[in-house]
Chain A
Amino acid sequence: MIAIIDYDTGNLRSVKNALHRLGAEFVVTSEHDVIRGAEKVLLPGVGEASAAMQKLRERGLDEVIPTLQVPVLGICIGMQLMCRHSEEGDAKCMGIFDTDVVRFFSERSLTDSMQTSSGSMLNSSGSMQTSSGPFLNSSDSMQTSSGPFQNPPSPTELNDLKIPHMGWNGIEELKTGLFDGVEDGAFVYYVHSFHALMCDEAIAVSHHGVDFCGALCKGNFYGTQFHPEKSGATGARILHNFLKL
């Protein structure tokens, strides 16, 4: 049995519909015993991070979820709540994934993107070594690293980038069985204004001005920033893969 965690953060219908389409049986619950006894656990959610985290706490779910041994998949805000901290409402989250959630193009969003791109942009005090303002306008001053995306957004590019990041974007550098049969560059549907900073636990990377975690994995815990339940055949494949884990 699959448990969809219900913590009163709005509409679970699209996740339920997606599981129906896959022919999976599930319960919608906030009961600890039912969640502990499930073979797979889904943590969906929409809304604001600090309020959502508060709702998990009220139900004691912030204690239960990190102790689960079975595959757990957080979707969108569900994934964000599994990170350490979110800038949205300054929320302390469950700390399963070793990364933080920041608003698109906030100071940390931009500086972190440059740091992970160059690896040497920050001096020991953490401040920028360049004097060209917050944005680098020339990529040749940067060391390249692995990965398809390196350049931080130019001010012009930044001006054109919309928040929320809404629509279909590609996922790259796919890892783990969650993406079996999914090609690098496949498109998935995103709707969000906050993103998880790049880290070693990223199993999918997308780009919107900055690189960010499209999906995360640590042990039995998985999270997708995108909505597999709204991502057509690609999303159905990813959910199918999760159910097979």
Chain B
Amino acid sequence: MLTKRIIPCLDVKDGRTVKGVNFLNLADVGDAVALGRKYAEDGADELVYLDISATFEGRRTFTQLVERVAAEIDIPFTVGGGIGTMEDAARLLDAGADKISINSAAIKNPELIDGIASKYGSQFVVVAIDARLTDEGVWLATTHGGRNMTDKELFSWAREAQERGAGEILFTSMNHDGTKKGYPCDTFARLADMLSIPIIASGGAGSVQDIADVLTAGRADAALAASIFHYNEIPIPVLKKALHEQGVNVRV
């Protein structure tokens, strides 16, 4: 049976991971390749590298990093951050990325999904949706890390992304992101009912139970997290063992 995936996300600026990491056994915690390799050895099922550089030079460095990750790490990885054109997609594919994640650019220009999916296949395109639950009880997609509200409603936008050729949906609740209080599982389950493509849950994990819940009650196919791994609050082997003991089908 297909297993549920656990995916650490690494934020990269100017080619180096930025979040403080307290892995004592890594000489250079800013080395994004070494950290990725460590996660892979710990049992991560995939990796996500998110470029948060704001400069052209930073982007160029990120592409070089992608080449190194592809050369040195033998599990699949997704790259995201600032991908806005077909040329960006081509450059990262050539560098060796297995998938790219597009977010704000897809909202601005939904045809980008069609273009990338038809040229490189749906398996290459992850559409990331950062959505916020409004006071009126509507989930609306946001851009720029949640700062800008759009008029795109989560469920219809996710369905549109699937129809345009997205291979996966990465959904982050901006109401839960950073709270460590768990995921909105009912919203994830509703997404799973609607979509035929896999769903990656992001934002809100604070405990093993939160992740177990979103993979079972929330019916997500994968859980992505950053700080619980970076700060070693829940090491991946501990997480996977605990999930396995709870009957969640994971690769152990």
Contact = CB atoms under 8 A, between A and B. Distances in A.
A236 B73 CA distance: 11
Main secondary structure of the interface of A (DSSP, over half): mixed
B228 to A, nearest CB: 21
Interface in B207-252: 219, 221-222, 251
B221 A168 contact: no
B198 interface: yes
A47 B124 CA distance: 11
A106 B242 CA distance: 36
A11 B93 contact: yes
A194 interface: no
B75 A230 contact: yes
Contact of A232 (B3, B75, B121): B75
A172 to B, nearest CB: 11
Interface residues of A, number: 34
A169 interface: yes
Contacts of A11: 93-94, 96
Q: Which 6 residue pairs are nearest across A and B when measured between Cβ atoms?
A: A187-B251, A168-B251, A13-B96, A191-B123, A168-B3, A162-B198
Given A17-B70, A167-B221, 11 more contacts: A14-B98, A18-B74, A164-B167, A164-B197, A166-B168, A167-B3, A169-B2, A169-B3, A189-B76, A232-B74, A233-B74
Interface of B: 1-3, 5, 40, 45, 70-72, 74-76, 93-96, 98, 120-123, 167-168, 192, 196-198, 219, 221-222, 251
Interface of A: 10-11, 13-14, 17-18, 20-21, 46-47, 160, 162-170, 187, 189-191, 207-208, 227, 229-233, 235-236
